[in-house]
Homo-oligomer: A and B are copies of this chain.
């Protein structure tokens, strides 16, 4: 409620409005105050309010009607991917209403395959660090993720890799880089015997397969990954606003 000037005002207003929607201060289907009322309440300009509302509208959280008002979208429950959760599996699980946890299955050093080298813009055979991790939603294993990082990117003085970190925290700590964006392919795959066993699921049943590459702000590939997601437990649900 109280607005500081150390954190961007728009970020704070964003958090406050989301919190109010979550708590039901603005109930599903209900109306939000007008832009001018909000700008008065928070003592910020209408433009600032508008950037916040624009973002929430793009995520489908609110619906804006010219000449009428702004409404809380009541059909938005259980949406977990406001297009920021696909490569943040912990958040994806959290947004789906489960408690996320990460189990590190293996951390190995090996030569890169040709395919990996191509994706990561390195020479085939160059050493890479391969992380195999299992994500849980509450007690259920739901995502098996394999991430590959070029050795050359890793700071050897940063200590032993901790496989339970979120990927951006991992990169931050061991590569001193920030992930800027990611490109991912969503595909349909099938659980082979090993994967089915790890995910505690039937062999030959369909799974979502997510292939992803993370880039830093200099547009260099940092990590590539290949993950299997049990979509019987964890839905991939997303909203798209028209235009």
Contact = CB atoms under 8 A, between A and B. Distances in A.
A16 interface: no
Contacts of A150: none
A105 interface: no
B182 A219 contact: no
Given A187-B231, A207-B188, A236-B186, A242 B71 contact: no
Given A184-B238, A186-B231, 18 more contacts: A47-B47, A63-B217, A65-B217, A75-B215, A84-B243, A180-B242, A181-B239, A181-B240, A181-B241, A182-B240, A183-B237, A183-B239, A185-B236, A186-B236, A186-B237, A188-B188, A188-B189, A188-B208
Interface string A220-243: 010000000001000111111111
A136 interface: no
A102 B231 CA distance: 29
A141 interface: no
Contact of A219 (B29, B184, B190, B237): B29
Secondary structure dominating the interface of A: strand
B73 A219 contact: yes
A152 interface: no
A100 to B, nearest CB: 18
Interface in A153-209: 168, 178-190, 206-209
B188 A238 contact: no
Given A79-B183, A187-B231, A207-B188, A238 B86 contact: yes
A213 B231 CA distance: 18
B63 A219 contact: yes
Given A188-B208, A219-B71, A60 B240 contact: no
A89 interface: no
